Amino acid sequence: MSSNSPINSDNQEIDLAQIANKVNGIYDSLLNKLFRFILFVKKNIILFIVLFIVGAGIGFYLDKKVKSYDHQVIVSPNFGSIDYLYAQINLVQSKVNEGDTVFLKKIGIKNAKKFGKIEIKPIVDVYKFIENNKENFDLIKLLAEDGNIEKVVENELTSKNYPFHLITFKTSKVTSEEETVLPILNFLNESDYFKQMKKEYLNNIQIKMQANDTTISQIDGLLNQFKNRMNSNHSDKLIYFNENTQLNEVIITKDNLLKEQSHFRLTLIRYEKVIKEISVILNNKNTKGTNGKMKFIVPFIFITLFLLISTMINFYKKQTSKIELIDN
């Protein structure tokens, strides 16, 4: 046992020495490569500067020439037109994919060649979805029992029934509502079926509002009669009211009717169109990805290509020299 111990120690010392030599060799090799690279840059510094300037110039030109703008339109689909809305937006996108500028021009879009991707998605607002609607609230509760509530509120079955939806589209130049938004909205509001639905909805609301106004006038008449009766009594006489009087219920009914009238007036604003625009945001310059960054990307590409080509040439020369030596 004792005779093996010195041998093991010597072997360990040899192994450590070999490792140290290898590490030093790698370190020296890296330093040599770094020094050669510095010499290479120094030798070609003028070419590097030229490549950077040319690349930056081309990049500035591309940033100025190739632009992308994002546009957003929040809409509210009415009269059960939600599936129709999504189908129409998908139709426009399919025409964009096909490069069918004739179709885009036909629906009124100006600069159809500059028109890009269009898509629609719901604006997730579960509180609006269940507001004053017990059936929607019960639906959310039922769906939530079988899974994560976040997945429930974002799944297609639920999300398509949210009141507001976001239409986004891209253009390669600045646009205006007249050039793009209005043609798209007019196209979405072309359906004869939903126009008829709109007419009947509005007619029903008007009939209900007129009936409410009549009922409110009748209630006001009753209240005025009661007020006049009270004023006609002598102040020194006491007036007693039966506990079963329906006066309080009449006042509550009038208050509910006034709230309903207020709701109908707001609804009439929303029901002005089949697809009603809520807000429009245009010409938000897209700086994602390579947009606006070509002034940095192009010089980097030029210099990288130069380094790759130089490396390949050096490799080719070394390999050629080796083969010539072997042949000789």
Do residues 94 and 229 share a domain? no
115-122 β-sheet, strand order: 115-122, 165-171, 69-77, 275-285
- Which tokens hold the place of 80? 């059960």
Structure confidence at residue 230 as a pLDDT band (50, 70, 90): low
Residue 140 pLDDT > 80: no
Mark whether 262 and 118 lie in a shared domain.
no
**With 60 as the cut, is the pLDDT of residue 266 above it?**
yes
Split into its structural domains, the chain has a count of 3
Residues 103 and 157 in one domain: yes
> Residues 113, 177: one domain?
yes
pLDDT tens per residue across span 7-21: 555 555 556 667 766
Please indicate, yes or no, whether residues 163 and 279 belong to a single structural domain of this protein. yes
- For every residue of 280-322, DSSP letters joined together read EEEEEE--STTTT-HHHHHHHHHHHHHHHHHHHHHHHHHHHHH
Q: Summarize the chain as % helix, strand, coil (round to 5).
A: 70, 10, 20
pLDDT tens digit string along 85-126? 999 999 999 999 999 999 999 999 988 888 989 999 988 776
73 and 187 inside one domain: yes
Q: Averaged over 301-316, what is the pLDDT?
A: 85
Q: What percent of the chain has pLDDT over 90?
A: 30
Q: Would the pLDDT of 40 be above 60? A: yes
Identify whether residues 84 and 138 lie together within a single domain.
Answer: yes
Q: Give the separation between CA 2 and CA 167, rounded to whole angstroms.
A: 84
Which position has the higher pLDDT, 223 or 148? 223
Do 281 and 255 belong to one domain? no
pLDDT tens track for 238-250: 444 444 456 778 8
146 and 256 within one domain: no
**Domain shared by 186 and 203, yes or no:** no
Contacts of 130 (CB under 8 A, 6+ apart): 136, 137, 140
Of 28-32, 147-151, 265-269, where does the model show the most confidence?
Answer: 265-269
Q: 258 is in which domain, residue-wise?
A: 199-269
Burial class (CB in 10 A: 0-12, 13-18, 19+), 261: middle
- Let me know whether 225 and 240 are in one domain: yes
For residue 167, report the phi and psi dihedrals to the nearest 5 degrees: -95, 125
pLDDT above 70: percentage of residues in the chain: 74
Identify the H or E element spanning 13. Answer: helix 4-43
- Same structural domain, 70 and 185: yes
